[in-house]
Amino acid sequence: MVSALLPCPFCGEKPQITKHHREDIYSFMHRCQILGPISWGFREDQQAHIEKWNARAQPAPQPHPEPIAWMVGTAIWWTKEEAERDAAETGLPIVGLGPMTGTAPAEQQQGEPVAWLAKTLKGSLAGTLGLARYDQRLNPELYDGPFPVFRHADPGEVERLREGIAKHWKVVCDQRAEIESLRDQLAKVVRSGALTAPEHEALEAECCALSATAEPSAPAAQA
């Protein structure tokens, strides 16, 4: 079975493989606005040439990309050394920002963006990043962005949080099982007739009180 060709990572189009109408010759052709025209011919083993292209088109894995900037308080530093000096002086923690949208899997982005940045494209500040509003309309010839940056995901922290959630969920499940067991025991006692009338009334009152406290309270009215 011949594999499918992957789209070009630059232009998004797929190459074409055509067969000569008279001879057993194939042509591999791709016209990319960024890479330029790509073509070669071959006589056999079409699968090998497809795998050759797919190996080029497959994006390189980026398991844990580095932050693109560091935030200390409200200050953003483009080098870790500057951020460490500021953190030592202010006593505030360092928060890694990044990666940019599209450079890392979504699961590595934690929550809402902590800032929006724009890159200067021209002039003496070309290539530098600066803060921007998320709804700011920038001249695309002068700036790239704005784009969101996120708190950098620490794989170790993510794993610790997952373990903590699993432990808490086990506690909840154990407590639910214990509650169900106590309810069964209570129902058996009530059905056995071992309780006197006053004891039965007192037990019903306590159950009603517990049910009332367990129900969620209505939200307070807003003025």
| pLDDT at 123 (0 to 100) | 72
In three state form, how does the secondary structure of the chain look?
CCCCCCCCCCCCCCCEEEECCCCCCEEEEEEECCCEEEEEEECCCHHHHHHHHHHHHCCCCCCCCCCCEEEECCEEECCHHHHHHHHHHHCCCEEEECCCCCCCCHHHEEEEEEEEEEEECCCCCCCCEEECCCCCCCCCCCEEEEEEEEEECCHHHHHHHHHHHHHHHHHHHHHHHHHHHHHHHHHHHHHHCCCCHHHHHHHHHHHHHHHHHHCCCCCCCCC
| pLDDT at 216 (0 to 100) | 42
The Cα–Cα gap between 179 and 174 comes to: 9
| pLDDT at 206 (0 to 100) | 76
| pLDDT at 65 (0 to 100) | 58
Residue by residue, pLDDT tens for the chain (223 residues) are 557 888 876 667 788 888 777 667 878 777 765 555 677 777 777 788 788 777 776 655 545 556 667 778 767 777 788 888 888 988 888 877 655 444 444 444 455 666 677 777 777 667 666 677 767 777 777 777 777 766 655 566 656 666 777 777 777 777 877 877 777 777 787 778 777 778 777 877 777 666 555 444 444 444 4
| pLDDT at 217 (0 to 100) | 43
**All structural domains of the chain with their residue ranges:** 16-57, 69-153, 164-210
- pTM, 2 dp: 0.28
